[in-house]
Amino acid sequence: MRRLGARTGLAALALAALASGCGKDSDTVEPAGGQPLQAPPARALDSYAEKLRAAQAARAAAAKRWGLKKVPLAAPPPPAKKPRITTRDGFEVDGHERLDLPPVFTTVPVEEKVVFLTIDDGAEKDPEFLRMMTELKVPYSAFLSDYLVEEDYGYFKDMQKRGVALHNHTLRHPYLPALSHARQKREICGMQDVIEKRYGTRPALFRPPYGNYDKATLRAAKSCGITHVPLWNEEVFADRWEYREWDRKIHPGDIVLSHFRGREDWDGTMRDMIRRFLDKVTAEGYAVARLEDYL
């Protein structure tokens, strides 16, 4: 009983010292006149497990609050070695490899069941959408056009603060192949300047409006500092999905496109679009990963 009491007293002392920061480091406690005691590993594991349970409970509560059928799956850790990104067959321009132009791709080569959500232009600025994505902890990438973003730069600053990367979708969203190289460069480099001025970063990712480009587009993009040109393999709306592939299926590493749109353009809201997107990918066993972590 005396030995049990001593152990209980030491454990209490260890806990008190850990809680108050009195130990010499985060894992040891040194009682008066004795040797440093290691904090029990089991206690640290219990704490970690409790944090995981709390995070999962919060995620489940958010899924219920936003009307999802299931809790979204958590993405795996980002790969330590990034996959090699190449231009999709048939999407090359003349001299693509020789000129070392940015790769144009619709899917990231991965083995895990992950997809990437990308949202274009910036027309709709729904604060509830920001809250929904933050609470659900779903990553996405934004490709912005200045003629729409300039209506409210602060909305996208808030988005950036929530961890969303902001990328280039030109100044005025033109059909680029109809423009000269100089005008294309003005559209792309001009948007680089806007994002750097307003948000402090110069994007490395660029998506041409409508997914249309030519050799001059990619040459201009490269000269503006662009390293990747992600297109998409599926597009999700508030009321439907559209597919590039003949099998009309989602595949590992697919890039999914949507737009900042509301009821003026869709039969629904951005929140409806996200519900449709997450319900499908979750039901098929996919998690949503952050595109920038794979490039």
Taking only the tens place, the pLDDT of each residue in 32-67 is 445 555 555 677 777 778 888 888 898 899 999 999
Determine contact, residues 251/245, Cβ cutoff 8 Å: yes
Choose between 56 and 134: higher pLDDT: 134
Q: So what's the pLDDT on residue 4?
A: 39
**The pLDDT value given to residue 79:** 95
Whole-prediction pTM: 0.84
Query: How many other C-beta atoms are found inside a 10 Å radius of the C-beta of residue 58?
Result: 13
Q: Kindly state the percentage of the chain with pLDDT values over 90.
A: 80
Partners of residue 28 on adjacent β-strands: 25, 38
Confidence category of residue 239, pLDDT binned at 50, 70, 90 = very high
| Token pair recorded at residue 218 | 């990619």
Domain ranges of the chain: 2-39, 73-294
What is the CATH architecture assignment of 73-294?
Alpha-Beta Barrel (3.20)
Q: Where does the pLDDT of residue 136 fall: very low under 50, low under 70, confident under 90, or very high at 90 and above?
A: very high
Token pair belonging to 207: 């998506």
